[in-house]
Amino acid sequence: MTDKITEIANGIYENVGGMDNVGKIVHCMTRVRMEIRDYSKVNIDNLKKVKGVMGVVEDDTLQVVIGPGTVNKVAQKMVEMAGVKLGDAMPETSDKNNKTKVDEKAAATKAAVKKKNQKPWSKILKSISNIFVPLIPAFVGAGIIGGIASVLGNMMTAGQLTGEHWATIIMVMKIVQNGVFAYLNIYVGINSANEFGASPSLGGVIGGIIMLTGVTPEAPLPNIITGGTLSANQGGIIGVIFAVFLMSLIEKKLRKITPESIDIIVTPTLTLLIMSLLTIFLIMPVAGAISSGLVGFINWILDVGGAFSGFLLGSLFLPMVMFGLHQILTPIHLDMITNTGVTELLPILAMAGAGQVGAAVALWVRCRKNETLTELIKGALPVGVLGIGEPLIYGVTLPLGRPFVTACLGGGIGGAVIGLFGHVGATSIGPSGVALIPLINNGHMLQYVIGLLAGYLGGFVITYFFGTTEAMRKGQI
């Protein structure tokens, strides 16, 4: 494994212009993300051919799809080779005093590429991704533990389990689950502050303010939108992110004009005072109305549209993943969980991964003479079953074109089945595919499994009959 990791790391460096051309390295669940100093030195075609690389996404950062598990090791190996830590600035070994016109041109090329790729919506999506990706392991672990606790609790209610020790185990599991979701606003506040260049501790306080600790029913705070009263967590994480963004602007402005000798006292005090008033009396009511509207609209689509809505949502999710648009759904999922206890959107969107798994199996069967393709499928299929679809997207279906479309249609079939059943929800976010089963709300696990099977079958059948070409089957591409 060590040699494989080193080979991938070296292969990436060789095709991105060398270690000196990389400004910073971080990673998410499946991708090594690099800030590139001069894009003219990057060879995208050869980078895609590096053994172990499943795909490349060009954005304001260069994203190399490696796959879960391996990506952590590759990113760590790359920063170790450079002598830095993940997220730290990479050293420049070239002579800093020798700034020629070539250097200036390289900088201009980098700026042009970043300007081309950094559309406003792209920046927003990147920020949302940076805020929530570090929390995904906590969502997955705590969510699954909470799901197991719910199953055990139902078994106790039905009399299948008895004894105080089971009650204690369930209580401990619920404590773990609540450790994430009860204080999610604080975690989001801290990560948002890091993303927007503000003080993380102040971001955490803003997240805590939205919880309205200390406010009692006897002395409520007014809601300027509805004329009623504010409730704890109103506006949820949408409000937290916006409030911390405003806070970052205020804090940066104050630090510029405040004398250094009193900055440590004046800046955080004024920042929190201003933002607490804005957050409680303006942002919370407005964000609460927006959040409730979004959740209500999505639930309306799911209730009214049924199978048709499920088909559309299931079919369109893979393209959203491809363009990185799926990140914007994270706060919507979390707000749905906060307001209704579950997100009915996630199980439908998870069917897109099922369609892709079915498509991959069909390609394996139909194109068994294509050894290169079947090897890629063998490596990407297991994690695809667990709901991590990027290796299959970038390594298998998307490069071939037609199978990507048939995989989307297979996901639509699974989504239609879930939509037809209705009220199939997930109590947490993070995993997908088979790994989402423990998080499905009580009494609907079977419906979710049926939807998965429909997605698998739909993706397989459509791809088997319509998703391949003779060149694919003969191993010519």
Active-site positions read 28
Residue 54 and residue 390 in contact, taking contact as beta carbons nearer than 8 Å: yes
Residue 351 and residue 419 in contact, taking contact as beta carbons nearer than 8 Å: no
> Residue 136 contacts by C-beta under 8 Å, 6 or more apart in sequence?
29, 430
Burial code (b: 16+ CB inside 10 Å, e: under 16) for 383-393 equals: bbbbbbbbbbb
CA angle 415, 67, 110 (to 5 degrees): 105
Q: d(Cα 449, Cα 308) in Å, to the nearest integer? A: 19
Burial code (b: 16+ CB inside 10 Å, e: under 16) for 194-221 equals: bbbebbeebbbbbbebbebeeeeeeeee
Q: d(Cα 138, Cα 160) in Å, to the nearest integer? A: 30
Q: Helix 284-305 crosses helix 345-366 at what angle (to 10 degrees)?
A: 50
Q: For residue 276, give the nearest of 195, 208, 217, 198 by alpha carbon.
A: 208
- At position 236, the amino acid (one-letter code) is G
Q: For residue 259, give the nearest of 267, 268, 251, 250 by alpha carbon.
A: 267
For the chain, how big is the Rg over CA atoms in Å? 24
